[in-house]
């Protein structure tokens, strides 16, 4: 990564699916190491599409996109896994594997990366205990509640200590106490240097934490509010 380069950088980027009108238009933003941003906007505004572009599920159809200082717009497909491994994603729909236990789901990124189980067992157990699921490590997703699945998904996203954390409505399926714990964990990881983007509808959460806000409406990133100024 180029020294002092933004972790995420879009310049006049757009995203269109096949022949449909653009889902995202004229997107310009920069996110640097250690920055925290909330991503807010109405349903259908493009929050999830923006997160998908950042974690390379889709690439922009025009404009400029750099990730960790690399040209992600034109990078060859075989270069993408290395970039993705630096990103932890908390998906809105969980994306857990039903045939694996909670422990195995959380450990999956480490296993895929070729890390020996002896090296990650303690980290996985510690994260599951932290989110209140130490007693459910051997449970499989079909037996878990929505809130429990959300917490497994959170632990999986964080187990590899990513440089960039993306969370799509991470507190939508948990009670207020667990919501508070989740946000405290994001903030602590942010203090350790991870960049964080949290998409949320919870304006009370946004106002209470006082972090900068990226607002998206009708596919356009209009402005950032709060500490930190413009994107």
pLDDT tens, residue by residue, 133-154:
999 999 999 999 988 998 999 9
Question: What's residue 4's pLDDT?
Answer: 66
Helix residue ranges, H only, 15-69: 47-54
199 backbone φψ class: left, alpha, beta (φ>0; ψ -120 to 50): beta
Mean pLDDT of 50-70: 95
Q: How many residues does the chain have?
A: 231
Distances in whole angstroms, Cα of residue 201 to Cα of each of 18, 83, 169, 198: 29, 28, 7, 10
For β-strands 195-199 and 22-31, DSSP reports them as unpaired
User: How far apart (Å, rounded) are the C-alpha atoms in residues 24 and 4?
Assistant: 27
* CB contact burial 81-102 (16+ within 10 A = b; e otherwise): eebeebbbbbbbebebeeeebb
Angle at 28 between CA 23 and CA 31, to 5 degrees: 115
User: How far apart (Å, rounded) are the C-alpha atoms in residues 86 and 44?
Assistant: 27
User: How far apart (Å, rounded) are the C-alpha atoms in residues 32 and 20?
Assistant: 32
Question: What's residue 93's pLDDT?
Answer: 86
More confident site: 228 or 18: 18
Question: Across the chain, what does the average pLDDT equal?
Answer: 89
Whether 227 shows a pLDDT value over 80: the answer reads no
* CB contact burial 15-52 (16+ within 10 A = b; e otherwise): bbeeeeebbbbebebebeeebbbbbbbeeebbbbbbbb
Question: What's residue 223's pLDDT?
Answer: 59
Question: What's residue 3's pLDDT?
Answer: 53
pLDDT single digits (tens) 74-104: 999 999 999 999 999 998 888 999 999 999 9
Question: What's residue 184's pLDDT?
Answer: 86
User: How far apart (Å, rounded) are the C-alpha atoms in residues 209 and 187?
Assistant: 9
Q: How confident is the model at residue 111 (pLDDT cuts 50, 70, 90)?
A: very high
Q: How confident is the model at residue 229 (pLDDT cuts 50, 70, 90)?
A: very low
Tokens of residue 140, six digits? 């499989």
* Cβ-proximal residues to 140 (8 Å cutoff; 6+ apart), any chain: 98, 99, 100, 101, 102
Would you say 131 and 151 are in contact if contact means Cβ atoms under 8 Å apart?
yes
Q: Which of 28, 32, 27, 29 is nearest to 1 (CA)?
A: 32
Question: What's residue 147's pLDDT?
Answer: 87
């Amino acid at each position: 990564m180029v020294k002092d380069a933004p972790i995420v950088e879009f310049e006049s980027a757009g995203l269109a699916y096949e022949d449909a009108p653009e889902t995202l238009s004229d997107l310009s933003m920069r996110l640097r190491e250690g920055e925290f941003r909330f991503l807010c906007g109405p349903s259908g505004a493009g929050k999830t599409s923006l997160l998908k572009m950042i974690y390379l599920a889709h690439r922009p159809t025009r404009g400029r996109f750099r990730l960790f200082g690399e040209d992600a717009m034109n990078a060859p497909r075989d270069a993408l896994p290395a970039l993705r491994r630096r990103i932890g994603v908390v998906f809105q729909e969980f994306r857990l594997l039903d045939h694996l236990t909670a422990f195995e789901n959380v450990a999956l990124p480490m296993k895929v990366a070729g890390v020996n189980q002896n090296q990650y067992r303690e980290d996985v157990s510690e994260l599951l205990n932290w989110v209140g699921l130490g007693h459910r490590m051997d449970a499989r997703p079909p037996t878990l509640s929505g809130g429990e699945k959300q917490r497994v998904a959170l632990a999986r996203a964080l187990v590899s200590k990513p440089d960039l954390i993306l969370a799509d409505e991470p507190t939508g399926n948990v009670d207020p106490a667990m919501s508070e714990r989740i946000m405290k964990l994001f903030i602590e990881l942010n203090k350790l240097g991870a960049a964080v983007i949290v998409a949320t509808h919870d304006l009370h959460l946004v106002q209470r934490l006082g972090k900068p806000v990226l607002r998206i409406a009708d596919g356009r990133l209009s402005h950032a509010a709060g500490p930190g100024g413009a994107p």
